[in-house]
């Protein structure tokens, strides 16, 4: 057998074929270590929920439709059941599908599923210091504080209803100005919902022609889409991408623009406010910061948290509500018989001399049912903001270690065949009993459920009902003449937005 001699001057890498040996070996070692970590983080436990076998490093990313992950997750539930696991990158997550599993976890075992996992895209955008992705005890205290402030300022009370009514009047004027011509509703509706949250947080509203607020609302809309697209899924799986070019760089720039915008109003409030007499959310937060400076508060209310919390209110208070309204109008031009029935009910109960109020909802059961069906069928947030187990949890016979990411598939709840008579159709009768009265449905969870339910739920309900009923009272909507009806296909993103479309608004009053 021939023997290979290695000279004294030859390096080990030369003898082993240089980098051609070391690079593949290191890559294989890295893949093995990541695969082992996946097993240790949940996938290797016999009591951990079953799921599709992950690929090393990539997990199940190649098996998931990253533009509409909820579709893939729903199909996987048909194979693995209502509680299963999936890897959207190196780490294993647990998916809950269907009303019973989601309710059991988020409502009946709310304490066990009350944490948030670290989501890289949101962490790097500083939203972990906000109100939605709170993880630490300090963050939970900020959330409780914010809820208390919003209630004090009137959220869910008549004082906020007056703000919504004022904005409804302004929105009606904008629609009237279109004089029956085809137009896209997005900017007008975004401004209406944006002004409601501006009144609560900044203590002011903006004119519908204000270029600055229009631009900022467009940024919010664009960012919500980017945070839920395929790139964001890849970014969350491989957060080292932060240091490389990509769409996330624009997100970081847009975040800073919003922070700069808010900082101007924070500085103005510091100069003009009366201590302990808050006019809005910013005043209340400054009062809380003053307590800390005086040694009365041990919680973290620093300026970064201030900006992050206020941004959370903007995002939660504009995009989802505005998008639901745009879906509602799209359904009305798609189903004109339903539009006519809503208008007949409003005409009969409210008449033409005043706007409908939230208090009218019991006397307007069909209108109330249509608003609910819009939220159910539009499925704005098909996947809830991720949860995490707060401790070691036994759930339906499976063991979930503390910190396990949990995905509540709200899409599967709102389309659960065991809960809805016609889950895949727009059917307002889902929310009406045999006598035509409005009925609540336990499986109606567009705002999620349990401890992490959307903190702006009561405000969103008020806005949706008042804006929608006021628009239908004053206008009839139809597609522009000669144009086909828009398709009911959502645009993918963190929320499912209505497709771009134009309509005509014909005055009734």
pLDDT in tens, 406-426: 999 999 999 999 999 999 999
Q: What is the pLDDT of residues 334-369, one digit of tens each?
A: 999 999 999 999 999 999 999 999 999 999 999 999
Nearest to 203 by CA among 334, 91, 313, 315: 313
What pLDDT does 45 receive?
Answer: 46
Same structural domain, 104 and 241: no
Q: What is the pLDDT of residues 95-124, one digit of tens each?
A: 999 999 999 999 999 999 999 888 888 878
Cα distance between residue 65 and residue 72, in whole Å: 6
What pLDDT does 13 receive?
Answer: 37
Same structural domain, 90 and 152: no
Q: Is the pLDDT of residue 134 over 80?
A: no
Instruction: Write the CATH number for 242.
Output: 1.10.630.10
pLDDT band (50, 70, 90) for residue 136: confident
> 131-135, 275-279, 295-299, 433-437 — which is least confidently predicted?
295-299
Same structural domain, 393 and 325: no
Same structural domain, 243 and 95: no
* Residues whose CB falls within 8 Å of the CB of residue 378, separated by 6 or more in sequence, listed in order: 323, 324, 327, 328, 490, 496, 498
Same structural domain, 408 and 420: no
Nearest to 131 by CA among 286, 306, 254: 306
Same structural domain, 401 and 318: no
Q: What is the pLDDT of residues 81-98, one digit of tens each?
A: 999 999 987 789 999 999
Which helix (H) or strand (E) element contains residue 407? strand 405-409
What pLDDT does 312 receive?
Answer: 86
Same structural domain, 295 and 214: yes
Does 19 fall in a domain?
A: no
Q: Is the pLDDT of residue 3 over 60?
A: no
What pLDDT does 14 receive?
Answer: 39
Same structural domain, 242 and 175: yes
Does 433 fall in a domain?
A: yes
Residue 354 token pair = 């005043």
Q: What is the pLDDT of residues 292-322, one digit of tens each?
A: 665 555 557 888 889 888 888 887 778 889 9
Same structural domain, 314 and 372: yes
Do β-strands 502-507 and 475-478 pair in parallel, antiparallel, or remain unpaired?
antiparallel
Same structural domain, 281 and 362: yes
Q: What is the mean pLDDT of residues 276-286?
A: 92
Number of domains in the chain: 2
Same structural domain, 243 and 260: yes
Q: Which runs of E-coded beta strand occur in 7-98?
A: 83-87, 92-97
pTM of this structure: 0.87
Q: What is the mean pLDDT of residues 457-463?
A: 92
Q: By residue range, what is the domain housing residue 322? A: 130-379+415-507
**Are 321 and 463 a contacting pair, CB within 8 Å?**
yes
What pLDDT does 294 receive?
Answer: 58
Cα distance between residue 329 and residue 334, in whole Å: 9
């Amino acid at each position: 057998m021939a023997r290979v001699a290695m000279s004294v001057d030859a390096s080990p890498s030369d003898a082993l074929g240089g980098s051609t040996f070391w690079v593949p070996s290191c890559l294989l070692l890295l893949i093995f270590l990541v695969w082992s970590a996946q097993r240790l983080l949940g996938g290797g436990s016999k009591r951990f929920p079953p799921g599709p076998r992950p690929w090393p490093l990539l997990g199940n990313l190649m098996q998931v439709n990253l533009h509409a992950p909820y579709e893939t997750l729903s199909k996987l539930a048909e194979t693995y059941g209502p509680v299963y696991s999936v890897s959207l990158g190196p780490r294993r997550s647990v998916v809950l599908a269907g009303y019973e599993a989601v309710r059991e976890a988020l409502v009946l075992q709310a304490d066990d599923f009350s944490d948030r996992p670290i989501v890289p895209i949101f962490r790097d955008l500083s939203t972990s210091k906000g109100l939605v992705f709170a993880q630490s005890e300090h963050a939970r205290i900020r959330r409780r504080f914010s809820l208390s402030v919003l209630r004090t300022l009137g959220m869910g009370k008549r004082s906020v209803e007056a703000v919504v009514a004022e904005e409804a009047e302004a929105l009606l004027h904008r629609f009237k100005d279109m004089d029956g011509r085809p137009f896209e509703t997005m900017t007008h509706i975004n401004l209406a919902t944006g002004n409601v949250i501006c009144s609560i947080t900044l203590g002011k509203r903006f004119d519908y022609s204000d270029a600055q607020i229009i631009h900022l609302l467009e940024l919010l809309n664009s960012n919500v889409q980017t945070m839920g697209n395929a790139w964001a899924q890849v970014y969350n799986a491989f957060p080292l991408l932060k240091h490389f070019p990509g769409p996330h760089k624009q997100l970081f720039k847009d975040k800073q623009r919003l922070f700069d915008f808010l900082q101007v109003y924070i500085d103005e409030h510091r100069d003009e406010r009366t201590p302990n007499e808050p006019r809005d959310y910013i005043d209340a937060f400054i009062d809380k910061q003053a307590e800390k400076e005086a040694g009365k508060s041990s919680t973290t209310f620093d300026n970064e948290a201030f900006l992050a919390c206020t941004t959370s209110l903007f995002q939660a208070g504009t995009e989802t509500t505005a998008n639901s309204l745009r879906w509602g109008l799209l359904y009305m031009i798609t189903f004109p018989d339903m539009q006519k029935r809503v208008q007949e009910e409003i005409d009969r109960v409210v008449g033409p001399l005043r706007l409908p109020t939230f208090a009218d909802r019991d006397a307007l059961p069909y209108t109330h049912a249509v608003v609910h069906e819009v939220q159910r069928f539009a499925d704005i947030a098909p996947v809830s903001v991720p949860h995490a187990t707060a401790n070691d949890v036994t759930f339906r016979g499976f063991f979930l270690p503390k910190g396990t990411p949990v995905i509540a598939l709200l899409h599967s709840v709102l389309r659960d065949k065991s809960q809805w008579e016609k889950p895949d159709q727009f059917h307002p009768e889902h929310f009406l009993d045999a006598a035509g009265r409005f009925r609540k449905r336990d499986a109606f969870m567009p705002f999620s459920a349990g401890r992490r339910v959307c903190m702006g739920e009561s405000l969103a309900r008020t806005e949706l009902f008042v804006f929608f009923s006021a628009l239908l009272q004053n206008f009839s909507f139809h597609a522009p003449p000669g144009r086909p009806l828009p398709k009911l296909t959502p645009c993918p993103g963190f929320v499912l937005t209505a497709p771009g479309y134009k309509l005509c608004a014909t005055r009734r009053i």
